[in-house]
Amino acid sequence: MLKQRTIKNPIRARGVGLHTGHHGLMTMRPAPVNTGIVFRRVDLDPVIEIHVNPNAVTETVLCTTLSQDEAKISTVEHLMSALAGFGIDNLYIDLDTDEVPIMDGSASHFIFLLQSAGIADQEADKRFIRIKKTIRIETEKGDWAQFEPYEGFKLSFSIDFDHPAFDETANHIVIDFSSTSYLKEISRARTFGFMKDVEALRKRNLALGGSLENAIVLDENGVMNPEGLRNQDEFVRHKVLDAVGDLYMIGSGIVGAFSAYRSGHALNNKLLRSLLSQPDAWEYTSISDLAGAISYEENPGAIS
């Protein structure tokens, strides 16, 4: 039986927010069983706590933002993705600003922090949400996302961008986490954006902290980053990274298959809310009857 997990020791990191440009300190601390993932704005008086759940998501423009009362914390998806990859159930995340640091634009720095803090199994069984029937959300533009029953956790994602750089990369990927390492295959994929959009975004107070150090930036010809891409299909791998983080907002791991075409933070969140609104579409389960269907690394080592 898989047990709930937290970290062994507190750990801190400083960084800049991708959209706000605000510099801040983030501290991750162990939390007791059944706490869940809790973000805390420690710069506010009184401290505001935001318990992760789909209804706490209030903004989804280019990132996932959580809100409680007047407090906001944006760009939580990459950290949430790393927590999902390690199966972290319970954690306090203290921030003295309104955005999670972007680090290098992927989840790899968060993975390093979790590895450094150590992973601790707890005296409570891990719970999962099992998908019992197909749930699909589709937009007028033809973008869609869906859940289907599946004895494991599998993601299929397709992207479609009208840009020459995407003609040279894979635009579809299928990841089954019974046999694929999140750390090796997903965690290093960076967020990306287009140079032509930067001025308009900054007028909307977005991408104020963005740079070639924390994102893949594309001009009209291709990738501007001198080092190029980390994988030929880094773009679609990052969309999987985002989806893993967005789906973990449900508060537990998922036993089922997620597939999507041009989905983003908004559609991912709508899918979660649609699922939870249909009690016959899901159930809580343990992992005892799914041996090998979902796996987490027991003794994580450094990322190569």
Query: Dihedral angle at the C-alpha atoms of 81, 83, 89, 95, nearest 10 degrees?
Result: -100
Helix (H) or strand (E) segment spanning residue 85: helix 77-86
Q: Which amino acid is at 216?
A: I
Reference 77, options 56, 97, 47, 48; nearest CA is 56
Distance CA 128, CA 137 (A): 22
Measured over the CA atoms of residue 104, residue 187, residue 243 and residue 50, the dihedral's sign is: negative
Residues with catalytic roles:
265
Q: Tokens 């479609």 appear where? A: 160
* Distance (Å) of CA 9 to CA 27, 30, 97, 211, 251: 11, 7, 22, 31, 22
Residue 255 CB coordination number (10 Å): 25
Helix (H) or strand (E) segment spanning residue 138: strand 135-138
User: What are 13's strand-pairing partners?
Assistant: 26
